Structure 1
């Protein structure tokens, strides 16, 4: 939960780097909260016809849209790629696989042109 809140606190910060753990923990909690929002929509009958999501789910997704993009860009920065590289996802099939590989790839050790290694600084903060 700490990682999810960290991403929300850095709401529109597209600079810097994000660890794999930060990105994937955010994705995990985002999926969980999305499912809960869908369930609440279904319980209260707020769905759009036969579609399983409604107003609460839509509102939740709008709230986390910018933080989701920001953490994805920071994750790409950690691998040494520009944030514009995210548009590779627009290439059918191959783009989705390619972006998934990049998001799963370990970040550059040490500093790169996007900032210091978040893994190194996080380790120092945990033990100080």
Structure 2
């Protein structure tokens, strides 16, 4: 999945917390968020706030789908709220996809 496809997929599935999302889909979308947030922060605080609010649900749903891809529940996202322990979430997000189907569906690249 490339940069544009990841952004389109994540914004089109912004309320879809089910299914699986590939590692490339998640990380391309996070990169897009960081770039847009930095630029918005340089423009004005209000623009920055609007960007954060616009990306909040898509980031949460993409994170949940990414965790589903490695066989974890989306509720693991809450561990990110705990300082230092939240680094476990980073470890989960960089793990390779499960090649076989799991309780959340078929592998994302095979389903596409």
Same fold (TM over 0.5): yes
Aligned position for 1:119: 109
* Residues 78-104 of structure 1, C-alpha deviations (whole Å, 9 max, x = no match): 00001111112233202x210000000
Alignment partners' CA distance in 2, 1:88 and 1:73: 12
Any stretches of 5+ residues in structure 1 without a counterpart?
42-53, 123-128
Bigger-Rg structure (1/2): 1
Are positions 1:35 and 2:26 aligned together?
Answer: no
- TM-score of the superposition, structure 1-length normalised? 0.80
Question: Post-superposition shift, 1:40?
Answer: 1.9
CA RMSD of aligned residues (A): 1.1
| Mapping 1:1-128, distance limit 5 Å | 1-41=4-44, 54-94=45-85, 96-122=86-112
Render the CA deviation track for 1:55-96: whole Å, top value 9, x for unaligned.
0110111011011000000000000001111112233202x2
Q: Work out the CA distance in 1 between the residues paired with 2:28 and 2:63.
A: 12
Q: Is the 8 A contact 1:34 1:60 kept in 2?
A: yes
Gaps of 5+ in 2: none
Q: CA deviation at 1:2?
A: 2.2
Runs of 4+ in 1 over 3 A off after TM superposition: none
Post-superposition offset of 1:32: 0.6
The answer (yes or no) to whether the contact 1:110–1:120 under 8 Å persists in 2 is no
Say whether the 8 Å CA contact 1:76–1:82 is kept in structure 2. Answer: yes
SS of residue paired to 2:9: helix
